[in-house]
Amino acid sequence: MDSVLLITVDCLRADHVGCYGYDRPTTPHIDAFVDDATWFEVSYANCPGTRWTLQTIHTGLYTNQIDGLGIPEAVPTLAELFREAGYATAGFANNGYLSRDYGYDIGFDTYLSVSDFADEQGIVESLARGVDNLIGAGWLRERLSKLYRLFERVAGSEFQPSVTDVDVVDHAVDWLDEQRRAENDHFAWIHLMDAHTPYARWDDHLKALRGDVDVEHVIHPGRSDAITVGEAPPQAVIDAYDAGIRSADEQIGRLLNHAPDDATVILTGDHGEEFGQFEEFHIATLHSSYTQVPTIVRSAELDSGVVRDGIAEHVDVFPTVLNGHVPEYPDRPGTSLPEKDRNLEAPVFFQHDGSYYGVRRGEWKLLTDTAAEETELYHGPHMSTDGANVIGDEPEIAAELRTLLDDHAATGTAARTDKRGHEGLRDSVEENLEDLGYIE
C-alpha cells in the first residue's frame, strides 16, 4: 500500500513555525515531525493568496499561465494523475475558493468542501456574518465599527466558527483509516483553516503560548480596525493568530497519527499573513510577509534534516508529490525536491492578480506592478524582511532582474477557466467567502 498526504495550511508564515526559528510553541507537532522529515529553510509561495497558490500546487503551473480562477479542466491535476494511476483520492477543504464552484473537486473520488459543511453553521457565526455584512458597507463602516468591536468583546471569549479544522480532519482521518483497512493506494489533500480569520478562541492554546488567557480576543483584525499600517500589530492579534496556528498544528498531529509510518507527506503554507508592515491586514502582496512559507517533506528519496543550500517553491510541490508514485506526469516549471539542484542564486518568480510580478535572485528582489507603473527593489538574505526600497540606488541590478521578470511573464497562457470572480457561486460558497473577508 502506498500513501501520499498533501497538507496545506492557510496563512502559515514560516517565521511563526518553531523549526523555522519562532520563539513561541505554535507548532509542537510540526517540530516533532521534522525529526523524521526534510525541511527547507528557504521556501517560497510563488503565487501567494489561496486562489492563486492552490492553482499552482494542483496543476504545477504558475498562475500567469492560467487565465481565470480555479482549476482548468484541460490541465491534469494531482488528483487526476493519482486516480489514473489507480489510487483512491480524497480532498478536504473548507474554503470557498477551493470549492467545487472553482473546480477543485476534479480528480477526487471523495471531496468535502464548503457546501458539505454548510449545514453545520452555528448561531454565533450567523450573527457575526450579519454584523460583518453591515460593517462591509462603506458608508456604514465608520458608524458601526464600535458596534463590531462591542460584538467581539461579547462573543470573543467564546467565539468558534461553525466549522473548524477539527471537523475537517474528523472526515479526513475516517477516510484515511478506511483506506488503510482496505490496503488501498491512496492520495489525500487536506487544507487547514484555523490560522485564517475569523479567529476562533482557543483558550488551551493561548495558555500554552502565553501562560494565561487574560487577553481580549480579536475575531477579525481587519474588520475591527485592530491593524494600522506602519505600526506593530497589537499583541492580541498575534496571540489570536498564533493560537490558530497551534490549533491547526494539533490537527496535523492527528493526520500524521492516522497515516502509515512510511507515507509520503508534503506540508506547506499556502501563503503568509500581513499584519500591517506593508499593507492593511490580510491584503495579499508579494512582500516577505506573504511569500515566505514552510515546506516540509517526508519522502524515502530525501534524507531527514534541514536543507539550507537550496530553495523550495510551490511550483516544486506538483512534481515532488508525484515523484516515485506516478510513473509518468506532465513536465512543469518546477522540479521534484529530491532531484532539485542546491542553489541559492536561482531565480524565484512571484505573481498574483494579473499585473503584479516579482523575482528574487540571491539577495536581490524586484517587485513591479505594471498597472500602477510602480517598481520596487529590495536587498537582503533569503527569508528576511524586505526592508527599504532601494530602487534608485541599483539601476543595473534592477534592469537585470526586470529582464528576467519580463521573460517569465511572457511564458504565455497554458490553460483557461470560466471563473473570473464571484459570479454564479452557490449561496454556501458566497457566505463562506463573506466570512473569510473576501466579499463585502
Angle between helix 235-258 and 165-182 (nearest 10): 10
pTM (2 d.p.)? 0.92
DSSP conformation class of 69: B
Parallel, antiparallel, or unpaired: how do β-strands 348-352 and 305-313 relate?
unpaired
As for how many domains the chain has, the answer is 1
The residues near 308 (Cβ < 8 Å, ≥ 6 apart) are: 41, 42
CATH code of the domain covering residue 201: 3.40.720.10
Establish if 407 belongs to a structural domain.
no
Angle between helix 235-258 and 203-210 (nearest 10): 110
Establish if 403 belongs to a structural domain.
no
Establish if 323 belongs to a structural domain.
yes
* Residue written as grid cell 482548468: 72
For residue 198, whether the previous peptide bond is cis, meaning omega lies within 30 degrees of 0, is yes
Max CA distance (Å), the chain: 63
> What 3-state DSSP class applies to 306?
strand
pLDDT tens per residue across all 440 residues of the chain: 999 999 999 999 999 999 999 999 999 999 999 999 999 999 999 999 999 999 999 999 999 999 999 999 999 999 999 999 999 999 999 999 999 999 999 999 999 999 998 765 543 444 444 444 444 444 444 444 444 444 444 455 568 888 999 999 999 999 999 999 999 999 999 999 999 999 999 999 999 999 999 999 999 999 888 999 999 999 999 999 999 999 999 999 999 999 999 999 999 999 999 999 999 999 999 999 999 999 999 999 999 999 999 999 999 999 999 999 999 999 999 999 999 999 999 999 999 877 899 999 999 999 998 877 899 999 999 999 999 999 999 999 999 999 999 999 888 778 899 998 899 999 999 999 999 989 87
Establish if 46 belongs to a structural domain.
yes
The CA-based angle 425-428-432, given to 5 degrees, is 95
Assigned C-alpha cell, 157: 471569549
Establish if 35 belongs to a structural domain.
yes
Domain limits for position 147: 3-346+426-436
Establish if 381 belongs to a structural domain.
no
* CA within 13 Å, CB half, 308: 5
Q: Which amino acid is located at 56 in the chain?
A: T
Establish if 189 belongs to a structural domain.
yes
Establish if 122 belongs to a structural domain.
yes
Distance CA 296, CA 37 (A): 7
CB 229 within 8 A of CB 251: no
DSSP conformation class of 282: T
